[in-house]
């Protein structure tokens, strides 16, 4: 399999050959930041177009089809439109917190985005406690949503923010327990080691038996709720709260919330691909050497992106299939069902690991 870290090492050596080490590090950091922002923007535009087309297919219509071939430039046109929109100045709001909120949301999304393993040797940040760091920074986003709702001085935004806070704090428990279940199975919190283990063997969804399947199902449900997507989109329910916590936002500030929503969809899908489907690891079947050799020819980056998009399709499928829940139903699903099942499943996974019942 192509090891992309060799290219990074070559670039580092080339920079060190003609400039000071601190200059080389600065140039590398700038390049990484630019590439990260570029990938973030392009993926957001793709996901907006992707969901519109999937939604149209479910509703037996065509979706975007006028701007560019097959409507592929519709999202780009929308991006330019939102960039030139006026930032409306409101009275009787906390102007500092109102302006800070969208940046906190986008910061949390960017930090999580930078942790994803894009390919073999292609990971921006790789801590030995990478999963723990990922869970920690993902919690920053709810602060931005709460600040947006409170600082707007609007009853609709405040209700949306309170709903979002209750929802995200509740479902973070199930999301975290699902992740801990797979960490217990892997025996490490290093993202690169988790991918490498699945590259050398089988994907965890297969080798982890029933506890891994249960953890995956709960992770997808909790991840959908964490990203405030239907049928768990109560914080921005347009039939009740106009646009929820970002009702008062306009222009690029609204665009930040919009981008973060779609990129959080990709991040949840990417983490699911990492923990359950090997991340960048190709599909290997023990004993099928010829098949495994063919799978190794597919670039690791293609594997990761394809898995993330496939899981995203499932989450989008949820939104356009199930009706929106009431807030009491949403919280009951977490505290009465998902959380107890998750706790039992964690104990079951520990027993599987202790007694060596996995493949």
Check residue 338 and give its pLDDT.
Answer: 92
Check residue 19 and give its pLDDT.
Answer: 79
- How big is the chain, counted in residues? 359
Span between the terminal Cα atoms of the chain, in Å? 23
Sign of the C-alpha dihedral, residues 58, 64, 68, 73? Answer: negative
Which of 123, 112, 71 has its CA nearest to residue 260? 112
Name, in order, each residue with C-beta under 8 angstroms of 290's C-beta and a sequence gap of 6 or more.
none
**pTM of the predicted protein model:** 0.88
Tokens of 309: 């998009």
**Phi and psi based region of residue 187 (left: phi greater than 0; alpha: psi -120 to 50; beta: remaining):** left
Give the separation between CA 8 and CA 119, rounded to whole angstroms: 13
Q: What is the mean pLDDT of each run of 10 residues along the chain (359 residues)?
A: 60 78 81 84 89 89 86 87 81 85 88 86 81 88 86 83 83 91 91 87 86 93 86 72 75 84 90 91 83 84 92 90 84 91 93 79
Check residue 178 and give its pLDDT.
Answer: 94
Check residue 1 and give its pLDDT.
Answer: 47
Task: Identify the residue whose tokens are 């980056």.
Answer: 301
Check residue 266 and give its pLDDT.
Answer: 92
Give the separation between CA 275 and CA 182, rounded to whole angstroms: 7
Give the separation between CA 207 and CA 251, rounded to whole angstroms: 47
Query: Is 116:271 a contact under the CB 8 Å cutoff?
Result: yes
**93-to-23, 41, 98, 157, 263 alpha-carbon distances in Å:** 43, 30, 7, 12, 28
DSSP state of 153: T
């Amino acid at each position: 399999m192509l090891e992309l870290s060799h290219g990074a090492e070559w670039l580092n050596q080339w920079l060190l050959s003609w400039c000071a080490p601190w200059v080389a590090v600065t140039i590398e950091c700038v390049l990484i930041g630019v590439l990260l922002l570029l990938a973030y923007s392009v993926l957001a535009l793709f996901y907006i177009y992707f969901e519109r087309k999937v939604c149209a297919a479910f509703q037996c219509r065509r979706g975007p089809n006028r701007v560019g071939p097959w409507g592929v430039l519709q999202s780009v046109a929308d991006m330019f439109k939102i960039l030139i929109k006026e930032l409306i100045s409101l009275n009787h709001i906390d102007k500092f917190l109102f302006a800070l909120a969208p940046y906190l949301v986008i910061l949390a999304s960017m930090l999580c985005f930078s942790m994803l393993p894009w390919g073999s040797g292609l990971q921006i940040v790789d801590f030995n406690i990478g999963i723990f760091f990922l869970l920690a920074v993902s919690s920053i986003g709810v602060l931005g949503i709460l600040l947006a709702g409170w600082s707007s001085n609007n009853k609709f935004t405040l209700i949306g923010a309170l709903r979002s806070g209750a929802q995200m704090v509740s479902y973070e428990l199930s999301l975290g327990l699902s992740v801990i279940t797979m960490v217990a199975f892997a025996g490490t919190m290093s993202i690169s080691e988790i991918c490498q283990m699945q590259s050398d063997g089988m994907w965890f969804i297969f080798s982890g038996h029933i506890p891994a399947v249960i953890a995956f199902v709960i992770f997808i449900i909790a991840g959908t709720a964490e990203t405030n997507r239907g049928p768990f989109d109560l914080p921005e329910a347009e039939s009740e709260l106009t646009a929820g916590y970002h009702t008062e936002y306009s222009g690029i500030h609204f665009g930040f919330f919009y981008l973060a929503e779609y990129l959080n969809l990709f991040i949840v899908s990417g983490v699911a691909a990492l923990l359950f489907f090997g991340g960048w690891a190709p599909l290997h079947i023990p004993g099928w050497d010829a098949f495994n050799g063919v799978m190794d020819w597919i670039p690791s980056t293609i594997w990761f992106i394809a898995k993330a998009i496939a899981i995203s399709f499932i989450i989008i499928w949820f939104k356009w299939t199930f009706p929106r829940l009431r807030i009491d139903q949403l919280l009951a699903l977490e505290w009465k069902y998902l959380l107890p099942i998750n706790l039992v499943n964690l104990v079951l996974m520990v027993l599987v690991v202790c007694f060596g019942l996995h493949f």
